[in-house]
Amino acid sequence: MAESLVYSEVKYKKESNADTGRAGPQIKESPEDDVVYAAVVHKADHTNQPNPPTLHSPADSSPKGSKGIRRRGLLLLAVVVLILILGVAISLSLYSGCQSAKCNDGWEAHGRQCYFFSTKSLIWTLSQEECVHKKSHLAIINDEKEQKLLMEIIAPKMQEAEDKFWIGLNDKQTEGKWLWVDNTPLTNKGFWLNRQEPDNWKGKNNEYPNGEDCVRMGEIDFIANSAAGWVDTACERKFKFICEAEACL
């Protein structure tokens, strides 16, 4: 360790001729001539002194510090992205997903679709929640072939007048604008039971003031070779329901 030097300044006053008693030429002195400067060098002794504290800036600007900050930032970003991905994955798995190629126990396989036909009756909203719990959704009917297939399946399951089944169609958001549970619109005229449906009936004594915003299918006396079978119904009524999920290949 290099030794430190401390400089001191010592001033000496010149003696005048009068003080020495010597005769000699008189020299006019300037004020500065009264002082003689001498530099004295002292060696600083740090033997018993504690080391001075090291000061750090609030943000470490060294390459090592910058690298640490970047690493923490990237780690935080990775955690946020992972949380988002997990959230989307959980949502998708609860809503749609797919089942094994042969469908789960209690389900029926038809082509690439798996169908579940409930034996209990629930209101429309709870029926959809039950389907979501089963990693599926209320049935979305895409064409006449699928409509006829489902009607043929539920025909022997309807033993009583109220043995009807909710499907995933409703106009709860806007009256007359029919949407499936995946928010896709009904693009065709649908498979309504007769020309009077949907009629948004409010009941004989106005027991359904909100009208009929959900759709169920199935009538005991429907024509077997006809695709017609939808009826708009008050969502708070209880019916059986059809869940649908895609079969994994």
The pTM is what? 0.60
Tens digit of each residue's pLDDT, the chain (249 residues): 444 555 455 554 545 444 444 444 444 444 444 544 444 444 545 545 555 555 554 445 555 566 677 777 788 887 766 776 655 444 444 444 566 557 888 999 998 899 999 999 999 999 999 999 999 999 999 999 999 999 999 988 888 888 899 999 999 999 999 999 999 999 988 899 887 889 999 988 999 999 999 999 987 666 555 688 899 999 999 999 999 998 775
Asked whether residue 179 is assigned to any structural domain, the reply reads yes
Q: Looking at the structure, do residues 36 and 119 belong to the same domain, yes or no?
A: no
Asked whether residue 240 is assigned to any structural domain, the reply reads yes
Asked whether residue 57 is assigned to any structural domain, the reply reads no
Beta strand extents in 160-211 (DSSP E only): 165-170, 179-180
Number of domains in the chain: 2
Q: Please give the pLDDT value at position 100.
A: 56
Strands 230-233 and 165-170: unpaired
Q: Looking at the structure, do residues 202 and 109 belong to the same domain, yes or no?
A: yes
Distance CA(34)–CA(8), nearest Å, equals: 19
Asked whether residue 135 is assigned to any structural domain, the reply reads yes
Asked whether residue 89 is assigned to any structural domain, the reply reads no
Asked whether residue 211 is assigned to any structural domain, the reply reads yes
Asked whether residue 80 is assigned to any structural domain, the reply reads no
Domain holding 217: CATH number? 3.10.100.10
Asked whether residue 182 is assigned to any structural domain, the reply reads yes
First to last CA, the chain: 76
- Give every CB contact of residue 69 below 8 A, 6+ residues apart in sequence: 60
Query: Domain range holding 137?
Result: 98-247
Q: Please give the pLDDT value at position 182.
A: 96
In terms of DSSP H, where are the helices of 10-53?
17-20
Q: Please give the pLDDT value at position 161.
A: 80
